[in-house]
Each structure stands twice: as C-alpha cells, then as structure tokens.
Amino acid sequence: MSTSSSIESALRFRADRLQNIRVTHDGTIARRTNTSFFTRGLVFTNRPIRINEKVTFKLMELSEGLGGFVYVGFTSRDPDNLQGVTCQHLAKGSGFWSWFFPKELCGTRSTLFYYIGEGGEVHYGVDGVEKGLFEGVVRTNQSLWPLFDIFGNSSGVRLIEAESRETRPKARANRKLVPMMLHETHSRNVRIDKNVAQRLDAKYTQGYIFSKQPIKSEQSIVIQIAPNGRGRFQGFVHLGVTSCDPALLNRDDLPDNVNSLVDRPEYWVLICDFSNLNCGDEIGLDLAHDGPITFHLNGGKFKGVVHVDATLKLYLFVNVYGSCQDVHLSTCAEQSKVEEKECVVCYDNVIEAALYRCGHTCMCFECAVEQWQGKGDGHCPLCRAVIRDVIRINK
C-alpha cells in the first residue's frame, strides 16, 4: 500500500456476478437480491485502497426486528479469484480481516467510514467523527481491497464520498481573513512562509505545523486547502491543540503516527482527521470561552465538537499529510476579537501605525511598512485596500 498522490478512479463496488448481490447506480449501491438469505452478501470494491483513504458508506433499507448489520474489512487476495466465496470461506485462509461495524452507530441516516492508518491500524467513525479502532492491525505491504458482507437487517450499502462537495458555499464578499502566523518550529517534510505551509513533494508524513501564538477564546480559525490550486485530489489533514509551546519542541520529537502525540507528557487533543479534501476546501474551527471547539467543512452543516481545557494556553497544530500539498491558516477578523494593542502580523509589538487611505490601525510601524513596501504586497491585511502611505501614531 502507499499514500500516492496520483488521482485514481472513484471507489465503487465490483459489478461481478455475485451469488446474492446486485450492483447498481454506477457501482455505488450493492443490494442483497434475496433478503430471505441473511448471509451471502459479500461484495468487494473495484480497486485496492490507499493508506488513510476512507471507505465511506451508508446502510439502506434496514429491516425491523432482525438481528445483524454489516461486516466490513479488507482482503489481500485479488477479488478476480474469489468468485462465489463467502466471509466464512475467506476467514479460513490468510490475507483476510473483517469486523462487525458497531451496531449502535448504524442507521440509515448515519454516514459511516473506516480506513487503514499508516501503522496498519483500522479506524472507524460516523458522520465525520472518529469513534475508535478495530481490533488488530492489517499488513500494509500489499494491495488491500475493501469488502462488505451485507447480512441480517441490512439489505444494501451505498458508497459515498467522504465529504459532499455540493454544500461548498460561495465565499462571503464581506468576510475579512487575517493571516494566522505559523511558528518557526515544524517537522522536516514541510516548509512554511508566514501563514502558509507546503508539504515537500513525495513526502507523505511529518508535516506538522503550529500556530505562532496560542489560540484565543471566541476565535474563529479558517484553514484553506490549496486555495490557489485546481482540480481534485485526495488531501488529508489532522487537526489538534496542545499546551506544548512549539519553541520547546525538537522536530525529531514529532512522531510519524499522529496518534502517538497523546502519549507525550504535555496536553494534546486530536480534534479531527479530514480526508478526501479538494482544492479550495475550507475547514472552520471555533473556540468557545468555556472550552468546546466546533469544527466544520466548507461552512456547511455542523460536523462535530471537541471539549478541551480552556484554562490552558493552547496552540493549534496541523499535520499536512497524504497528498495534500499546501494549507493557508487565517482568522476571521469580524469574529476573532483581535486585541486592540496587538499587531496582527507579528503579535509581539503594540499597534502604532495607521494605513492611508483605508484608515485601519492594526499593525506596529515596522510591520506596516513591510506590508506596504515589502512582502505584504501593498494591501491592508484586514480589508485588502491598497496602502498609499503609513502614518506613525501614538495610542
């Protein structure tokens, strides 16, 4: 298996002549043809899976009063050579892994997913939120085809994309994004420039970056995925917060497996793992004053919430991995409640400059001049108006 960044065909069910399965709707739906048989519902996907690629699906037409739900799993045996077999047959040989999907998560309105992590561990969750790991690990040095065994009260399964692109909103014209500066500490396979992080080519792990300053109560953070890119690709990011000051970290301390961070002595919380991201997607994070962090994709419907210890100074961290190339971090100016006396660029000096002609006072004099004549492209970071002059003020 690999984390190749090449674009592959969409994950679909194989349209084989199966014992008790009919595949329809361009390979996205698999149904048991004879629901009086509560077994013989084994179906495979059309291609092997990649590490960290989510298999996302919904159950269809659950029958009342019947036990059972769905097996999910993987096989390293080519489905071309598995015509007419059942899960029971596969279980007797090698190269086969399967699990009951937790019954309490299953329902026709739930979006379920599972995937293989970099260490061979198999994650599962519902509605975009991680719920746990299946028992055991999978050998990842070989091709692995996802499989479903549809039985019991489940009469069908529908494959879907991990995140729907139909709900992506148009950018609000009056929204003001302020760059969220990144700390100089980062892992070895990523480069940073102010608020932009770019993963090095052909390097699929060790893409950790940190916010330069602790996040603030009532702050809204926007993470843009390759906003200047085009097309579709399988991008991935881990998000979390930590009480560890990035200045005290050595890049060699950062693990390949992000789940190992919680074993460190500092306070680390993994907020969410977003997969199947496309160019132009936006992840939003909002920190409430009493600790909950809500997260969502593309400004759409609510996706999840994580409770953190708001009494600590918490830094945001992002792990850019898989095929995701670059991310841009910003805060939403109309909601971020920026301190009046703190420069929004360096966060170190007090505000002592006014911009002509827009009139905004948001930077120290040094950063304002740099924004005007240097790397800031000559535009106000709040409203993007052209800077004509910088005036030193005393506040």
Cβ atoms within 10 Å, residue 10: 12
Of 318, 337, 356, which residue is a domain's last?
A: 337
Residue 14 lies in a domain: no
Q: How far is the C-alpha of 114 from the C-alpha of 126, rounded, in Å? A: 9
* 381: its two tokens: 């970071």
Residue 87 lies in a domain: yes
| Mean pLDDT over the full length of the chain | 79
Query: pLDDT tens, 171-196?
Result: 444 567 889 999 999 999 899 999 99
Instruction: Answer with the residue of higher pLDDT: 341 or 170.
Output: 341
Ranges 245-249, 250-254, 300-304: which has the least confidence: 300-304
**Looking at the structure, do residues 137 and 183 belong to the same domain, yes or no?**
no
CATH number at residue 360: 3.30.40.10
Q: Are strands 196-199 and 389-392 parallel, antiparallel or unpaired?
A: unpaired
Is there a contact between 51 and 67 (Cβ–Cβ < 8 Å)? Answer: no
> Residue 224: which region, alpha, beta or left (left: phi > 0; alpha: psi -120 to 50)?
beta
Q: 208 forms bridges with which residues in the sheet?
A: 319
**Looking at the structure, do residues 348 and 222 belong to the same domain, yes or no?**
no
- Distance, CA of 36 to chain centre: 40
Residue 2 lies in a domain: no
DSSP structure class, residue 386: B
- Taking residues 290-296, report their average pLDDT: 81
Tell me the pLDDT band of 34, cut-offs 50, 70 and 90.
Answer: low
- Could you tell me which residues come within 8 angstroms of residue 108 by beta carbon, excluding any fewer than 6 positions away? 58, 59, 60, 61, 62
Residue 276 predicted with pLDDT over 70: no
Tell me the pLDDT band of 39, cut-offs 50, 70 and 90.
Answer: low
**Looking at the structure, do residues 181 and 308 belong to the same domain, yes or no?**
yes
Residue 98 lies in a domain: yes
**Looking at the structure, do residues 154 and 294 belong to the same domain, yes or no?**
no
Q: How far is the C-alpha of 207 from the C-alpha of 198, rounded, in Å? A: 8
Nearest by Cα to 60 from 148, 121, 190, 171 = 148
**Looking at the structure, do residues 324 and 241 belong to the same domain, yes or no?**
yes
Residue 7 lies in a domain: no
- Taking residues 270-292, report their average pLDDT: 79
Residue 316 lies in a domain: yes
**Looking at the structure, do residues 238 and 303 belong to the same domain, yes or no?**
yes
The helix/strand/coil state of 247 is helix
For position 63, what pLDDT does the model report? 53
Place of tokens 């009260």: 153
CATH number at residue 292: 2.60.120.920
- Taking residues 216-224, report their average pLDDT: 89
**Looking at the structure, do residues 250 and 359 belong to the same domain, yes or no?**
no
**Looking at the structure, do residues 322 and 200 belong to the same domain, yes or no?**
yes
Instruction: Answer with the residue of higher pLDDT: 207 or 235.
Output: 207
Domain tally, the chain: 3
- Taking residues 57-78, report their average pLDDT: 73
**Looking at the structure, do residues 94 and 228 belong to the same domain, yes or no?**
no
**Looking at the structure, do residues 220 and 362 belong to the same domain, yes or no?**
no
For position 323, what pLDDT does the model report? 62
Containing structural domain, residue 393: 340-395
State the Rg of the chain over Cα: 24
**Looking at the structure, do residues 190 and 298 belong to the same domain, yes or no?**
yes
Q: How far is the C-alpha of 2 from the C-alpha of 86, rounded, in Å? A: 28
- Taking residues 139-158, report their average pLDDT: 83
Q: What is the percentage of the chain residues whose pLDDT exceeds 90? A: 21
Q: How far is the C-alpha of 73 from the C-alpha of 50, rounded, in Å? A: 14
Place of tokens 């948001």: 362
Of 311, 337, 363, which residue is a domain's last?
A: 337
Residue 70 lies in a domain: yes
332-to-116, 158, 196 alpha-carbon distances in Å: 34, 37, 16
Residue 245 lies in a domain: yes
**Looking at the structure, do residues 183 and 329 belong to the same domain, yes or no?**
yes
Tell me the pLDDT band of 170, cut-offs 50, 70 and 90.
Answer: very low
Tell me the pLDDT band of 129, cut-offs 50, 70 and 90.
Answer: confident
DSSP structure class, residue 348: S
